[in-house]
Amino acid sequence: MSTSILNKFNRLAVKISANTMILSLREGYIALIPFFIVASLITLLNQWLDIAAKGFEHQYLNQFNQLVWGLFPLLSLISFSYHLAKNLKVHTIAAPILVITCFTATTGYMYIENNSIHIDHTQGVLYSLFMPIFCNYLLSYLMQIKLFRIVNVSSISLFLRKHINLIFPYMAVTTITLMLYPYIDNTATWFAQTLSNAQVELSALGKLFMQLLSSHMLWFLGVHGDNTYQILAPTHFTHYLLGSSVENYHFFSVFVLLGGTGCVWGIIIASFLLKEARHEQHIAKISLPLAVFNISEVMIYALPIVFNPYILLPFLLAPMLNAIVAYYCLSLGVITVIPDQSVPWFTPIFINAWLLTQSYSALLLQLVLVLANATIYYPFLKIYQRQSMSGKALDMLVKRYSAGRQIEDKAESMFAIHHSERQLEHHSLKQVTDALNKGALTLYYQPKIALKTNKIIGFEALLRLTYSDGSVQGPWFLDTLAKHNLLDVIDNYVIDQLEVDLERFASAGYAPKVSFNISPNNLLNGGYKRIVKAFSRFEEQVEVELLESSYIEDFATTIEVVNHLKRHHIRCAMDDFGTGYSCLSVLSKLNIDTIKLDRSLLPESNNLKSETLYKHLAQLCTQLGFKTVAEGVETREEERVVKAANIDCVQGFLYHQAMPIDEAIELLAKSETI
């Protein structure tokens, strides 16, 4: 029962993580991490060293914290709008400009007074999250309506055509937003006033829990929870006493938020206790110096905690536990706070407890709470590590949305240069970019079978294009991209995705040998460095398939590249041998491991000459020290020929078609049980 519930939760969590909006929000806030760090450090240093008070020329630092966090809604609006527009395949400059226009025109965040522009940071905080969603999705929908398109001809630049066709959708989104906003804002205002007029009387502990839950849920949504709560909540819910003399500010900073929002010290310790949790431990190392001063933004946005369903429960439980334990320790007199003692929020743990209480009991309490927090986080981080997508996998998911965009951007520059003589090629390229924008690139895996044992000994990674309706097509677009020197985009995708998939194989307990193709130009012009960086840790597990043309066109460089790959435990094979130059004199000089005999070499029925050629060609490769692979075996007659030629392994429809990685893992599991 519990396993079934966990599986359903995992499927839901992965679905949430892969959602375009959530993915974009994650990207948007990760892009702001340098801002969070720099802003926090400047605020920290100014408050610690009191720089502003030491010289007139630095007095502006007194207002830095208020100014920089006043800009936070606008910065988050721009970043989120950009990444959501990119993933929705809407123009990444035009869409954020539209969102900013609607945001500033409606919310009152920016206003003019005495001929000066002012910012009211209390306005539009939550709209910085909702406005990009509304405007981008509405713009994406309206752009699909043919009635709004001004230009449909292909005789002008794709770049110019796209921007002209934005005019009517732009006007429609702006009009709808301006019309709807007053009603939405009035409803929100009425709701807020109703809550305020209710005059709910809460105890100090009740206010404590309300502040904890509200601010942490805001953080979970990607909004700066503490600042937003201070803006939205009434004063008696943001400033109150716990016990007779302890301000909630000191109580939170010293006994609840140990390491920052979400009790970051607990997450850091739990991350280091996990085995093989490279992503989590890497983020913990980055967060560690900042957590000393209770700065938690890196962990919140980079792990991420924002919109991470695996971490929500401990993210709420850890501070709640701290609050309950510390509150009762304070009530029972276990810890006593020095009256009128002020401790800044950035004071490191243990030091802040000593300054506030001058009691070893407070230090012990902090230590116990940190260990309890780590205990709470550990099982949830373990589930997250095993079941959810890693940071690398999420980045790859983003690339699935952006491959067509990259090619489209490059296509525009080429259009301007070769407009007159390459109209036909440009039309073909547009078809390719349209197909890539509508579909998602993915890797399928075709098993390789050892003829002697009939067991799976590896896979070939094959590129596929999956559409929203579930249909799958082969890489028909590669020839067009090759003509325009754009194959590097696809090659880089294949390398990155294969790295992610090899990690998935490893997490399932398998280490299959996997081969993949790369274009010769990309390989020889630096692509081999990317391959080494991605796969050198998967020793003897990855095989790069080269075309004969790589050797024929630049033999010396190809020899050097192959030797470099082999030094890093990456094997090499010659793909489609027999379809290109097939220069036999080259065979004696090759430094590769495997020869793949193309399907076109397989003899037709009753063609003894072809069968003899196939047999002797295979024997020749074997005698020269190469392993042999027969591609495209589809019939029993072809299998008979391959067996007669003593081929090492085969692949083809007769055995298995290419399949998604989940099915490949299931196939490996079944093969072990046979």
Q: In this predicted model, what pLDDT tens digit does every residue of 491-511 receive, in sequence order?
A: 888 998 898 899 889 888 899
Residue 411: which pLDDT band, with cuts at 50, 70 and 90? Answer: low
Separation between Cα atoms, residue 590 and residue 582, nearest integer Å: 12
Q: Are strands 440-450 and 649-650 parallel, antiparallel or unpaired?
A: antiparallel
Task: Provide the 8-state DSSP code for 116.
Answer: E
- pLDDT of the residue at 387: 63
Residue 447: which pLDDT band, with cuts at 50, 70 and 90? Answer: very high
Residue 103 has pLDDT above 50, yes or no: yes
Separation between Cα atoms, residue 230 and residue 451, nearest integer Å: 70
- pLDDT of the residue at 415: 45
Separation between Cα atoms, residue 230 and residue 220, nearest integer Å: 16
Range of weakest confidence among 153-162, 299-308, 313-322, 451-460: 153-162
Residue 12 has pLDDT above 70, yes or no: no
Contact 324, 253 (CB under 8 A): no
pLDDT winner (highest mean) among 11-15, 422-426, 479-483: 479-483
Q: How far is CA 578 from CA 41, 317, 589, 630, 656, in A?
A: 63, 64, 17, 12, 23
Residue 408: which pLDDT band, with cuts at 50, 70 and 90? Answer: low
CB atoms inside a 10 Å sphere around CB 583: 11
- pLDDT of the residue at 581: 54
Separation between Cα atoms, residue 501 and residue 496, nearest integer Å: 9
pLDDT digits (tens, 9 = 90+) for 16-48: 666 778 777 777 877 877 777 777 777 777 666
Residue 390: which pLDDT band, with cuts at 50, 70 and 90? Answer: low
The residues pairing with 630 across neighbouring beta strands, listed in sequence order, are 597, 650
581 vs 287, more confident: 287
Average confidence (pLDDT) over 402-406: 60
Contact 305, 220 (CB under 8 A): yes
The residues pairing with 116 across neighbouring beta strands, listed in sequence order, are 113
657 vs 224, more confident: 657
- pLDDT of the residue at 11: 60
Residue 583 has pLDDT above 70, yes or no: no
The residues pairing with 241 across neighbouring beta strands, listed in sequence order, are 247
Average confidence (pLDDT) over 188-217: 78
CATH 3.20.20.450 intervals, the chain: 443-673
pTM of the model: 0.59
pLDDT digits (tens, 9 = 90+) for 222-270: 777 777 777 777 777 788 888 777 888 888 889 999 998 899 999 999 9
Q: How far is CA 656 from CA 259, 459, 474, 577, 634, in A?
A: 53, 10, 16, 22, 10
- pLDDT of the residue at 15: 61
Instruction: Tell me what percent of the residues of the chain surpass a pLDDT of 90.
Output: 22
In terms of Cβ atoms closer than 10 Å to its own Cβ (0-12, 13-18, 19+), residue 606 is exposed
610 vs 258, more confident: 258
Separation between Cα atoms, residue 283 and residue 394, nearest integer Å: 15
Please name which of 270, 263, 272 lies closest in space to residue 296, comparing C-alpha atoms. Answer: 263
Residue type, 93: I
- pLDDT of the residue at 426: 53
CB atoms inside a 10 Å sphere around CB 630: 28
Residue 412 has pLDDT above 50, yes or no: no
Task: Provide the 8-state DSSP code for 659.
Answer: B
Residue 7 has pLDDT above 60, yes or no: no
- pLDDT of the residue at 424: 46
- pLDDT of the residue at 230: 75
Residue 326: which pLDDT band, with cuts at 50, 70 and 90? Answer: very high
Task: Concatenate the DSSP letters of all residues of 499-539 into one string.
Answer: HHHHHHHHHTT---EEEEE--HHHIIIIIHHHHHHHHTTST
Assign a CATH topology to domain 443-673: TIM Barrel (3.20.20)
Range of weakest confidence among 9-13, 552-556, 609-613: 9-13
Residue 419 has pLDDT above 50, yes or no: no
Residue 542 has pLDDT above 60, yes or no: yes
The residues pairing with 544 across neighbouring beta strands, listed in sequence order, are 516, 572
Residue 557 has pLDDT above 90, yes or no: no
- pLDDT of the residue at 611: 86
Average confidence (pLDDT) over 329-341: 86
Instruction: Tell me what percent of the residues of the chain surpass a pLDDT of 70.
Output: 81
In the structure encoding, which two tokens stand for residue 74, read together?
A: 């606008």
Residue 604 has pLDDT above 70, yes or no: yes
Average confidence (pLDDT) over 329-343: 86
135 vs 232, more confident: 135
Range of weakest confidence among 51-60, 138-147, 293-302: 51-60
Residue 416 has pLDDT above 60, yes or no: no
Arithmetic mean of pLDDT over the chain: 81
pLDDT digits (tens, 9 = 90+) for 280-319: 888 888 888 888 888 887 888 777 787 788 888 999 999 9
Average confidence (pLDDT) over 662-667: 91
- pLDDT of the residue at 399: 57
Please name which of 317, 330, 371 lies closest in space to residue 245, comparing C-alpha atoms. Answer: 330
Residue 652 has pLDDT above 60, yes or no: yes
Residue 553 has pLDDT above 60, yes or no: yes
Residue 4 has pLDDT above 70, yes or no: no
